Structure formats: C-alpha cells, structure tokens
Structure 1
Amino acid sequence: MNWAAKIVGGRFHYGWLAVAVVFLVLLAAAGTRATPSVMMVPLEHQFGWSRATISLAISVNIALYGLMGPFAAAAMQRFGVRPTILTAVGTMGAGVALSAMMTHPWQMILVWGVMVGGATGVAALTLSATVVNRWFSTHRGLAMGILTASSATGQLVFLPLLAAIAEKHGWQAVVLVVAAAAAVVLPLVAFLLPERPADLKLRPFGEAHDAPPAPVAAAQNPLKVAFGTLAMASRTRDFWLLFFSFFICGASTNGYVGTHLIAMCGDYGMTEVQGASLLATMGIFDLFGTTLSGWLSDRFNSRVLLFWYYGLRGLSLIYLPHAFGIDFFGLPIFAVFYGLDWIATVPPTVRLATDVYGKEAAPVVFGWVVAGHQLGAAFAALGAGMLRASLGTYTVASMISGGLCLIASVIVLRINRGEQRAVAAAV
C-alpha cells in the first residue's frame, strides 16, 4: 500500500478515496447487472427464446446476487476486502466474456445466472456497508448514499451505450464491452484499496483522536459467521421487518423496472435506445435522490424517510401504465418521481440495521436483508415475465408492484422501536 500511503496528507481523509474506488467497483457491477435487460430483445429475435425463459436466467442472477451478500461480508472479515473483491471482479469479467459464445438457454442460466450472479453479489451493497463502517465514524449516511448511487450511475453510463451497441453490432459486442469495463477496475482495487484505516495509521473519518481503537474481529469461518449472525438476527422482529420491506424494494426496482422497462417500452413502439435512455434518465435523478437520502438519514428518522420513499414509489408504479398514454409529460413525470426514489431506501435501511445490531454485525445482517431484496427482485423478474407472456401486457405486474410498495410503507414504521435491541444484544 505504498501508493496509498503517499496520498495521505493534509486535510484530505483517505476514506473518501476508498469510497471512490469502491464506487467504481459498484459502477462496473451495476453495468454488468443491467446488461441482460439490453440483451432481452436481441436474444429473443436471434434465438427465439421467450421472455419467460430469459427472465428465468435473470431471476437466478438476481437471487444469487442477493444470497451471496452475507457470505461476502463474512469473507471480507475473514480474508480481507481487497482479495475478496479482486476474486469477484475477475470472475465477473470472465463470466461476461464467456457469455459471448452462448447459443442455448441453459448456457445463459449457467453463465449469467450462476457465475455472473454470484460474482456481482460480492461487489454489492454489503461491500458498501463494510467499507463505510470501517472508514467512517461520522457522515456514514452520506458515504453510503454515494456508494448506493453507483447503481444508478452504472445505468446512466452503460445502458444507452450498450443499447446503441446492441442495435448496431449485436449483443455479443455488448458483453465484450462490459467484460473490458470489469478488467479496468481490477488494478484500482489492487493498488488503491487498503484494508482498514489503521493500515495507513489513520482513524476512521470523524472519530475522536482519544477514542479507543476499534477491535479487529478474530478470523472466523465465513460460513459460521454468516449463519451465526442469521441465527442471532432471525430471533428479532426487526430483522424480519427489514427483510420483508427490502424484499418488496427489490421486487419493485431491479426485479421489475430494471429488468422489464426496456421491453415494456418496446410494447408501446419505443426503440431499445429510447427505453435505455429512459432508464438512464431515472439513473440521473436517482444519483441525486440516493445521495440526498444518505444526507437525510444522518439527520432525520430513518423510519419516516422509508415511509415516504416506499409510498411515493408505489404511487409511481401504479401511475406507470397510464404514463405511456400521456403525450410528452407522461413518462418524464414517472422518470423524475420514480428515479429520485429508486434506491433511496438503502441508506436509511443500513442506518437502521447498524442502530439495531451494531457496527460489526450490521454488514452481515444487512447482507441477509439484501438477500431478501434480491429474492424479491428474482420473484418480480420471473413473475412479470410470466404475466407478460400470458397476458400480453405489463399492466397487472405494475399494479401488483405498486400495491406491495404501499404495504412496505406501513411495515417500515415498526422497525427499531426499541424492544428488539436488548434481544439482539443478549444473543
């Protein structure tokens, strides 16, 4: 870490550079996760695969992305953040490159579903929670908001470009571009991401100089840590409230809108580039909305923030089928309101998990909560594809997704009421 040590000095805290490196990792992973939505129509045309078949591969990808979270957080504690991320990003890039040769649905399920899904699950929100808790004592919400916004920025950077490449050069060229992006990230992680502030003789950002140093947890088996933390957290009501609200979050974001919006736009006569541009526009607003959400979660009640986020998202999704019938203003209104809200739920959810379970356990607990998020996303990706195949429209799927969000807005008001904290501490 000699390169990193040379950067330390003055008023600049290296924690912000660690955030920048992780932001780029998450950016590449977000672009990778968004790629199947661009490939859906080209694969349908070239191979005759149905949207339900393609959605199955995407749902496996999404489910593994979530299920890897707690094990990834535990692996980072056992083996270190840098080795874990280097392995994941390398596997992700190799899997994406291999997919250029696929010709059968089972190959897409194996490569995009299993290989890429598992790898992107390591470079995910649990990585953000781990890095933020290690490098920051204050401004955690803001740092988490910035890292969470990388998913939106990934769409902003990749989707219109990838859609244009798919139209002109085919889907194989798309996967090669994404694989190259993953390769670019590897040296940044290798040279610029220290394990902890103490490696550079620093304290976490905002920590008092006379504060006792944080203890480093003893190395343990990642499987034991992951399942042990699940056993502890699952005995508390707050865990299940976090889990099921985030299940709905995943179902209503990358499971439904992130997977099917481009294809939905095609049903209304829009091109893939137009659909991808709509997602990118939403990404711009989410970049601001999620960063702002992180700032707000440092200052206001996270339960109340989540109530408004889920409620407004639900109303936006119920409005979506009608937006295509409104000239000029219909889709832009949806893009603004839904975009600002897309993943703004993450910073206050992480804040609640940390408040209830503590800094050390929170990343692993949050990993299990993210598993719920991605199981919901897998459910919505497959379910919406099946509804579209049987009904010929996404309207029913939009209404179901919006209704679930309204339910989540009520659920979150019961999180961290105080009576669960003693239970978690006693286990």
Structure 2
Amino acid sequence: MRTVAVVGTSLAGLRSAQELRTRGFDGRLVMIGAEPPYDRPPLSKDFLLGKVSAGDLVLAGQDDLDALGAEWHLGVRAERLGREGVTLSDGTTIAADGYVIATGAVARTLGAAGNLNGVHTLRTLGDAVSLKQDLATGPASVVVVGAGFIGAEVASACRLLGHDVTVIEAMPVPLAPVLGARMGAVCGELHAENDVRLIAGVAVAGFAGADRVTGVRLADGREIRADLVVAGIGARPATDWLTGSGIAVDDGVLVDSGCVTVNPRVIAVGDVARYRCRLRGRRVRAEHWTAANEQAGVAVENLLAGATVTHFARHGYFWSDQYGRRLQFAGVATEDVRIVEGDLASKRFVAAYHRGDALTGVFAIDSPRPFTRLRRAL
C-alpha cells in the first residue's frame, strides 16, 4: 500500500492519519477536507460563552501536522469515489491504494424556515461564529428546536448569556431514546430549573417572519415569539458523494465490526460509519467524540492488514455540559434503571441500567468519580 487518502479532516480523519504513521505506514498520505482539524464539542458550550476562541479549538499544532508528512487538500470536498480515485470539487482526482472515509455528518435543517435570517444550525465553526454574532446583538427571545444534547447545550449557553429561551421538543420526553424515559425526564427538568421553557410533545409546523424570523408556529396552533431560532434536530451522515461507488450506504457507510466496508481497501470511521456493534447485536452509528477518537486505531489496523483482524467493541461514552452541570453516560439504556448513589432531587446522582443481573449502562449528573468507578464494571 503506497498511497492512502483520508477523506475528512475532523477528529476521526486526523486520528486515522496519526494511526497510519504510528503503525509504520511511510507512504504517501493525502488529507482531504473542507476545514483544518478542530474540536467540535466546545462549539455549543464554551465557544458560544466566549470562554475559548477559535484558536483554542485546534486539535493538533502545526508541528504535529507537519510531522504527519501529509499532502493536504483543504477547502474542497469529495464529490465522487470511483475506480480512478476520489474526485474533488476543484476537479482534482486523487488515486490511492487505500481510503479512509471520515466525512462525518451534516446538520439537519428546518426546511420550513426557508431562507429566513436568524435561523441557525450548529455543526461547524462557521455555524458557531454566525450564531455567536447574532446572540451578541442584545437580549433576544431564542427558540431552540430539539432538546437533544446539542439543543440542550445551546439552550444552556443562551440562558447563561442572558437571553429568554424556549426549547421545543417533538417527543413527549427529551432524550428518551438515549437515556430512557425516566432519566430523560430528569434532564428535561434542568431547563425549568434554569428558567428555560420546555414545550415537549409538540412538533414545529412553520415559522413567522418576512426576511427575518419573528416566531415559531407549533402544530397545536400556538406561536412562540422568536428573534433567533437554533435547530438541534440531529445530523445526517455525509455519504452523497459515495453514490455509484459500490460502497454500501444506509444511514451511514455500512461497515463490519472492524470498521471495514465490503471493499477491504476502504474503511469508515466516526459519525459517518454505521458499524456492526457486537455489544448491541446490530448496526449503530456512534455520533460521539470518543467513538471518533477510538475507532481510528481499529480501522487502520484492519486497513493495513487487508482484512478484519481486530474489532471495535467499546461501550459508547459521551458527556454534556448543561447549566453548569456535567452529564455523563456510558453503555446502553434499559427500562430497569436504579439510583445507586445520590438522589434525583439534588440533580447529583449515579444511575445504573440493568438487563436482569447484568449492568448495561451508567448515567450520572455531577458525580464523575462514582460514574467512572461504575463504568469500569460494564
């Protein structure tokens, strides 16, 4: 294998490049991406709050990037993968012996909002800069659509900045698919406890405003005033460029338990990869920082071996900072959830999920040490 092309230059792509060099690959390494590598989790938290700058988000210093000895193609996107290689938006075609697909995901948008000003998504640094500028114009009525982790973090940041905030969630209980109904309801209480209005179980029907948004219309007929709207309704994997490539795609790039596609010369890592999870017995996409960071080593080992010789079998882990509290989750949620330390009233506790006698997951608020201890038992 003389040339490897890494398509995607965020965390998963960067870690894959570093793993290639660490594992002895000394051939041509080509990095392709719209942006240089930077850390995304702070965008919805400390960056909006002004605690960190764009420079603080850099994932690797220039010396570290130079040490990779890579050929960089930034400011471009991959448009097609074929027998001749990866065709880029600037017309360049990169031929390689191995490919790493690390194109991540694209934020879902509120289609009904059209081109109204004041309606934001939050996925990239550019998105965060635009939202931060809008928030800096003065006190505003902010409506966050979606009470998932990104939506909740944005709502928290906006409230801490002094804005009036309403969160709209289509599901009856926020975060129920991830944490279960009981713990999802506990997370929902954090909004009210911090003077943020949560409207759950109602979908968004449309938007008011001519050039700029002035309100959000709900399916039950209500209209919520809005100077700014932020969509936190998830993301879709960036796989359009793989049409016709022969790489199987279904809500992400389909890979085995070692992050290898049907073609052993092509691997996929991070948000774009839908891998066969041995712990769950089904395919999943792990849209979390830790998965993007940890999958790279497994996937690259298999790419260099030319076959799946090792497997990714880590329990999912993620964290979220909301209203000055640290939320942590690892494993898989079940209906059998028990408080094993602390109490719900204080919002300082550890909850354990079980399937029979087996521990399957751990969730905690402001309890990092007992969380870590119990996580090791998974």
TM-score, normalised relative to structure 2: 0.31
Structure with a larger share of its residues in helix? 1
Task: Identify the structure with bigger relative contact order (alpha carbons < 8 Å, sequence gap 6+).
Answer: 1
The structure carrying a bigger strand percent of its residues is 2
